[in-house]
Amino acid sequence: EAQVTQNPRYLITVTGKKLTVTCSQNMNHEYMSWYRQDPGLGLRQIYYSMNVEVTDKGDVPEGYKVSRKEKRNFPLILESPSPNQTSLYFCASSLAAPNYGYTFGSGTRLTVV
Amino acid sequence: QQPVQSPQAVILREGEDAVINCSSSKALYSVHWYRQKHGEAPVFLMILLKGGEQKGHEKISASFNEKKQQSSLYLTASQLSYSGTYFCGKVGGAGGTSYGKLTFGQGTILTVHP
């Protein structure tokens, strides 16, 4: 089944403890992206990648890191999480984002205390 | 800059129609439309690439005006299953890596009652 898989689905962590949210897609998509969703603010893009080793900042990249060493994987790294990073996170992938839609993962609900 | 959606919320009875608008101050390369049901991930509905384009998806269709600065999503003869939040997304401008930059509007909450 074609899908984007994120793990974990739920995560509670403490301020400052490094964490990684994994994202993997099995559709051989070129583009991958991370979004966060907060009430009243909609979906905001954190980082995106157009191919292996090609990444760029979205609208809210501060406090996040990404890497794209393999085409299928695009992990999101929070090196020192803070409470304002408590949010619902979505990973998404697309064959070619300008001309094709994104397929979203199921989401990761992160709480930083 | 975020595209602007209107209205922010719509309440319908089954069988009624709705229009959701999405506008930008600059011409868009393409516009995407997504629907998100409560507690779920957004789901891609359609993409429009050309000025003047119209596209349909069952009873849900969309248009892109000639100047590519406005798109509208049309929901006809609404069903309970249409309830959710609808987002438009604009793709970043010319050249370079900005083609991967998909910026969403703030969303329109659509509620369909029996």
pLDDT (0 to 100) of residue B97: 46
A-chain CB neighbours of B44 within 8 Å are 101-103
Rounded to 10 degrees, the C-alpha dihedral A78/A84/A88/A90 comes to -40
Mutation pick from B48, B88, B102, B109 vs chain A, by most beta carbons of A within 10 Å, is B102
- How sure is the predictor about B29, in pLDDT bands with cuts at 50, 70 and 90? confident
* Digit-coded pLDDT (tens) for A16-73: 999 999 999 999 999 999 999 999 889 999 999 999 999 999 999 999 999 999 999 9
> Hey, how many other C-beta atoms are within 10 angstroms of the C-beta on B55?
16
pLDDT (0 to 100) of residue B73: 97
Of residues A49, A97, A106, nearest to B102 (C-beta): A97
* Digit-coded pLDDT (tens) for A66-105: 999 999 999 999 999 999 999 999 999 999 877 899 999 9
- How sure is the predictor about B93, in pLDDT bands with cuts at 50, 70 and 90? low
* Digit-coded pLDDT (tens) for B50-75: 888 888 877 999 999 878 789 999 99
Mutation pick from B5, B30, B101, B109 vs chain A, by most beta carbons of A within 10 Å, is B101
Q: Is A43 on the interface with B (CB under 8 A)?
A: yes
pLDDT (0 to 100) of residue A2: 85
Rounded to the nearest angstrom, the minimum Cα separation between A68 and chain B is 14
What is the distance, to the nearest Å, from the Cα of residue B49 to the centroid of all Cα atoms in its chain? 13
Q: Which residue of B has its CA nearest to A33?
A: B100
Q: How far is CA A28 from CA A4, A72, B59, B80, B93, in A?
A: 11, 7, 31, 35, 25
Report yes or no: B72 and B62 within 8 Å, Cβ to Cβ. Answer: yes
Closest CA to A107 of A93, A83, A88, A94: A88
What's the rounded Cα separation, in Å, for the pair B4 and B20? 11
